[in-house]
């Protein structure tokens, strides 16, 4: 009889505990090559005036290829648009949950040379809205006040 009561208490205890759902995309989901297929700016009139990741010309970012290496911390952004001053940027990246229910993607450019040290000390952050085997959607706050976030849509090219 005691075993039966203890069994019921055990079942009742586990049935009443809350389950914490962790919304943390695995770093394995982001590794591989992604093409930045769409950038939704707050206003098309100011699209070239709103710098994003210190790239002033948005045509450099649209269509860019983002490679996230399998070491899960390094990568390469290849900007293939017209008028781009720098076509390749090596990055360090990470994914983390700040505890507010969101998932963030952060990255920093690696310094290319001594003159490039100013960019390597600055980090960039986006919030991941969706990530699966084929599509990744992120948004970032605009650098101008009172504007909607900029939404970035990526399509996976290679695993």
In a domain, 39, yes or no: yes
Percent above pLDDT 70 for the chain: 64
Query: Does residue 107 lie within any of the structural domains?
Result: yes
Decide if 9 is inside a domain.
Answer: no
Q: Which domain holds residue 62?
A: 22-158
pLDDT at 35: 96
DSSP 63-74: T-EEEE-TTSSE
Mean confidence (pLDDT) of the chain? 75
Whether pLDDT at 65 is above 90 = yes
Q: Does the CA dihedral 128-119-66-92 come out positive or negative? A: negative
Using the Cα atoms of residue 54, residue 57, residue 58 and residue 61 in order, give the sign of their dihedral: negative
On whether residue 12 sits in a domain, the answer given is no
What's residue 113's pLDDT?
A: 54
The CATH number of residue 49's host domain is 2.40.128.280
Total domains present in the chain: 1
Residue 103: inside a domain, yes or no? Answer: yes
- What average pLDDT does the segment 57-84 reach? 85
Q: Can you tell me the distance from the alpha carbon of 158 to that of 120, in angstroms, rounded to the nearest whole number?
A: 27
In a domain, 40, yes or no: yes
The pTM score is 0.73
Most confidently modeled range among 53-57, 98-102, 126-130, 148-152: 126-130
Closest CA to 39 of 102, 86, 98, 81: 81
Q: What is the CA radius of gyration of the chain?
A: 21
User: Residue 152, Cβ neighbours under 10 Å: how many?
Assistant: 25
120 in helix, strand or coil?
Answer: helix
User: What is the C-alpha separation between 125 and 106, in angstroms, rounded?
Assistant: 4
3-state secondary structure of 14: helix
Q: Is residue 28 part of a domain?
A: yes
Give the 3-state secondary structure of residue 146: coil
- With respect to residue 94, please indicate whether it lies within any of the assigned structural domains: yes
């Amino acid at each position: 009889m005691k075993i039966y009561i203890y069994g019921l208490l055990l079942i009742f205890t586990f049935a009443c505990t809350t389950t914490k759902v962790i919304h943390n995309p695995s770093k394995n989901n982001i590794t591989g090559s992604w093409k930045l297929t769409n950038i939704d700016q707050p206003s098309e009139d100011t699209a070239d005036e709103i710098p994003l990741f210190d790239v002033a010309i948005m045509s450099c970012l649209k269509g860019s290829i983002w490679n996230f290496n399998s070491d899960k911390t390094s990568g390469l952004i290849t900007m293939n648009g017209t008028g781009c001053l720098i076509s390749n940027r090596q990055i360090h990246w990470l994914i983390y949950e700040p505890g507010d229910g969101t998932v963030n993607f952060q990255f920093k450019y690696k310094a290319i040379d001594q003159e490039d040290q100013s960019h390597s000390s600055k980090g960039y952050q986006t919030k991941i809205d969706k990530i699966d085997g084929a599509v990744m959607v992120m948004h970032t706050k605009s650098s101008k006040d009172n504007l909607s976030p900029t939404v970035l849509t990526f399509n996976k090219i290679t695993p």
